[in-house]
Structure 1
Amino acid sequence: MSDYRYLLFPGRHHVLTQFQASYLREQLATRLTPDAIVIWAVTSANHHTTKRNPVPFHRREAAIERFSVLAEVPSLVIGVVDTPPTEDFAEVTVKAVAASTDERVTPSPADTLVACSTPEVAELYQRLGYEVAGVELESAEKPLRPWDVLLMIAAGNDEWREAAHPATVDVFDRYRLDLQVVACVNDPVVGDDGGLTTTRDYKTYAEAFETAADRKWLQIKDFVRPGRILDIGCATGATLELVDADPRFHESDLIGVEVARHLFAECEHKKAQGVFSNPNVYFYQRNMLGSTVFSPRSIDTTLTLALTHEIWSYADGDRPATVARFAEGLFAHTAPNGVWINSDVCGPSEPDRKVALSLDDSDGANPADPADLTGMTGPAVAEVVGGLSTRARFVQFAQDFRRNANVAFEYSERPDGSFVLRLADAMDFLTRKDYVDNWLSETHEQFCGLTFAQWCDVARAAGFEIDPASKAWRNDWIIDNRIAPVAAITNPLNASPLPWPTTHQLLVARRPTA
């Protein structure tokens, strides 16, 4: 037996296995001192409801504590917040253990054996001088690793129960964590870390949502019904702040749902800081595409602000079927006489009309071919795209939009340099051309997938009635300041100027009383 006082076991620890129990007992009996302790360094402790981290830390901790009793493994559970990929990961984890215990436990190579089955991570500890035990890697039987068991759960393979330790089975069954794992791991929309795309700059998005909240609230506030008010895609919670400040809703429940981890964290931060005066404010990190989340007929007002084009854009496969399913879910949870308020972009009323699009080529560079932006960082992409002329940016957009949004985006070039294409495609470019800070993310999305009339049809098909106040409208500020100075649309047959089409919608859909 060695003089190791601690066994440091870093990992996400979503699932504990039967093999881990026998392995840890063996290490404690043969390689550590009689009073040794296993230190479970639970990484990504601040993440949950994501592909990489579907189980929240407090549930992981509960399973480890139960494992400790059942397997007779003396344990100390330490949560380690997620960090960007770094060569200092091992050192960060060791320091987190020391900080969490007020330095009463400070692992060092002299008194700590590290248990790790990930070779790249094990090497980081070895560089610091730690001896590393390989856990599953040491076994000739090649037992399932915890992530393998988690994927079995996600696949609906009930044999996971045989490989998992009873502590995990117990906690998963009591809290139905198996359903959460299935929903998160198989989610077609959410990325590994809880974002819609890996290229999205959430700082920029958060600032945009905060800036636009007042304007959007003025547009929708007269249609909001008191009671249970749900904001889907609530971003930073800015709209719910305005609802909270309105005395009409001081007795309402305010519910925010946000799928992006980065934005959800800001909502929780605001609530913790006392931003909301209403005590009945609740935030959930969920994807509303997976299934109906709220009880039937339980929501009085549902807000979807700048959201429905994302439902369309990030649909897995059949986009019309996805938005139909989404609307049906909203109808199911809407109370009689309740309302769904949708404020978002939309396509022009004549999406397939052919137009000639003329673009300025004097306001930037005009390379011979579009750049391959694959693998480039956000700032690098912004520098490349931001330096292009409006005309060259159109060519770049065509390449990236086809690839990222999986749309045809067909056009032809005329001798005068203009492009002939569908009006909807022209507006998809013109309404996004200035979003260089989030270019790769924005080219995943299709603003003009459905017209206002088609969105109304989606609502009606779900069972809603359309309020007469609903309308399509044109954002003239964007036209006058962003589009018209560098672009023009004309009739390709006679070159006559065409008016700019509508760009946005306000859809107020009510569930009938009966």
Structure 2
Amino acid sequence: MLTRFQEDFLKRFRDRTVVWAVTSANHHTTKRNPVAFDRREAAIERFSAGAGVRSVVVGVVDTPPTDEFAEVTVKAIEAGTDDLVRLTPANTVVACSTPEVSKLYEQLGYEVVGVEPEGTARPWDVLLMIAEGNDRWRELAHPATVDVFERYGLDAHIKRCVNDPVVGDDGGLTTTRDYKTYADAFETAADRKWQQIKDFVKPGRILDIGCATGATLQLIDADPRFHESDLIGVEVARHLYAECVHKKEQGLFHNPNVYFYQRNMLGSAVFPPRSIDSTLTLALTHEIWSYADGSRPATVQRFADALFAHTAPGGVWVNSDVCGPAEPDRPVVLTLDDSDGVNPDQITELEHLHDSASYVRQLSTRARFFQFAHDFRRNAKVPFEYDVRGDGLVLRLADAMDFLTRKDYVDNWLSETHEQFCGLDFAGWSAVAERAGFTIDRASKAWRNDWVIDNRIAPVAALTTPDGDPIDWPDTHQLLVARR
């Protein structure tokens, strides 16, 4: 965002070269940096030409918070100009209105001049006016920015990003997710999921929402039935979207009609009405439920309504995901092994640990339950009530399964405890689709992942009624085929 004030300010330096360090240049479609670097650069060049300012624009990749931010930026400018621009305290004045950043440059010996005085709207303040729907932003923004924003529809884009109810500041659902582990898991599971859903996918315009690394679209790309289809991936997480784009650049797709969007489908309509033949959501809907801001039922219904709106007549929505048991509120007694790890006397605040995965991994299954209860209540914002009765834990069946299906996800523990797998059962998800207008295909079903039960759950856990009668393990997953 460039402002009219900045033009008046920089006209004082017409005898100098203005070096624009555009930080977080590798970010876009995030709350911190909704506008892509190339659009920012275009506005700066237009601004410079109009103001008669000689400018050099350098993109600086995002860095974690560091006291060496100023030094990193100066070095990035040197690298970004092939050492043609070398900034030193002797030849450079730093213009900055952020006190914390100014101090870092002053420590390196640079003279710092403030930009916006008290009471003057800073660029970020003007950008927030766009998000708030305040048209006064056009009066404060420089005409170069107004022009670029209008030509590329960036005012609407900024509103979507800043007001997004689900996505965090850096373009992800959570800051605690290890995206490498997450991406590897999607790559590994893609073929199994594709075998489950491939017979229901219609040729035409095929949309994979939450496409992760694009692995499922690669399998569709390799299937001769879809060689004339448009393959469209939508991924909100910046790290995963970047991997999709990288794959396309590396030539891993043979179909030329492969497109990726970094977008949250809840923000606004992405595709025209009745324009998509097949929509795939794989391991996604529980995340929409979990990260919804406000009413979870209303948010997932809004999502299903949006899918129905863009689905062509005769089209299909295929949803493969986890789900809760058919009797979520049934009281059960959960007995857990306490001999397969350590049993601390107190709960640990994992955010304070350098390696939380190693800590959780050493816990016994029973101790892991108490850690999960602590983290799940806080992160997922759910009650998760239970009573200790001797060796058993009395709780809802859905809560028991939420723990049992997540207890081994130690590498992404803090991220996983944001998510509720058992928020809705299969009937609940079917009702969401039907309310949107879909018809449920007979092939739809809830099912149980017996490998997980036999290898991960049953060896360390047992479920009984409060009277001590054994209970069969409930369904853990769903395949929902919804047709328009």
SS of structure 2 residue aligned to 1:151? helix
| Equivalent in the alignment of 2:474 | 501
Task: Output aligned runs, 1:146-157, within 5 Å.
Answer: 146-157=123-134
The partner residue of 2:114 within 126, 134, 144 is 134
Contact (CA 8 Å) 2:160, 2:268: kept in 1 or not?
no
The partner residue of 1:383 within 358, 365, 382 is 358
Q: Within 2, Cα distance between the matches of 1:80 and 1:371?
A: 38
| Equivalent in the alignment of 1:355 | 332
Q: Within 1, Cα distance between the matches of 2:414 and 2:74?
A: 37
The partner residue of 1:106 within 86, 90, 97 is 86
| Equivalent in the alignment of 2:3 | 17
| Equivalent in the alignment of 1:92 | 72
**1:51 Cα deviation from its structure 2 partner:** 0.5
What is the identity, as a one-letter code, of the residue corresponding to 2:186?
F
Instruction: Deviation per CA, 1:91-139: give whole Å up to 9, x if none.
Output: 2222222222222222222211111111222222222222211212xx3
What is the identity, as a one-letter code, of the residue corresponding to 1:410?
E
Task: Output aligned runs, 1:69-468, within 5 Å.
Answer: 69-136=49-116, 139=117, 142-373=119-350, 375-376=351-352, 380-415=355-390, 417-468=391-442
SS of structure 1 residue aligned to 2:355? helix
% identical aligned pairs: 76
| Equivalent in the alignment of 1:56 | 36
What is the identity, as a one-letter code, of the residue corresponding to 2:38?
H
The partner residue of 1:40 within 20, 24, 35 is 20
**1:505 Cα deviation from its structure 2 partner:** 0.4
**1:345 Cα deviation from its structure 2 partner:** 0.1
Q: Within 1, Cα distance between the matches of 2:84 and 2:407?
A: 56
The partner residue of 1:480 within 425, 444, 454 is 454
What is the identity, as a one-letter code, of the residue corresponding to 1:18?
R
SS of structure 1 residue aligned to 2:352? coil
Contact (CA 8 Å) 2:336, 2:366: kept in 1 or not?
yes
SS of structure 2 residue aligned to 1:338? strand
What is the identity, as a one-letter code, of the residue corresponding to 2:299?
T
**1:380 Cα deviation from its structure 2 partner:** 2.3
Q: Within 1, Cα distance between the matches of 2:377 and 2:12?
A: 56
**1:27 Cα deviation from its structure 2 partner:** 3.4
What is the identity, as a one-letter code, of the residue corresponding to 1:90?
A
Structure 1: gaps of 5 or more residues? 1-14, 29-33
TM-score by length of 1: 0.92
Q: Within 1, Cα distance between the matches of 2:69 and 2:294?
A: 38
Instruction: Deviation per CA, 1:74-107: give whole Å up to 9, x if none.
Output: 1111111112222332222222222222222222
Q: Within 2, Cα distance between the matches of 1:235 and 1:146?
A: 33
| Equivalent in the alignment of 1:11 | none
SS of structure 2 residue aligned to 1:135? coil
SS of structure 1 residue aligned to 2:173? coil
Q: Within 1, Cα distance between the matches of 2:219 and 2:265?
A: 23
Q: Within 2, Cα distance between the matches of 1:222 and 1:98?
A: 54
**1:368 Cα deviation from its structure 2 partner:** 2.2
Structure 2: gaps of 5 or more residues? none
Q: Within 2, Cα distance between the matches of 1:68 and 1:401?
A: 51
Instruction: Deviation per CA, 1:378-415: give whole Å up to 9, x if none.
Output: x5221222221111111111111111111111111112
**1:226 Cα deviation from its structure 2 partner:** 0.5
What is the identity, as a one-letter code, of the residue corresponding to 2:236?
V
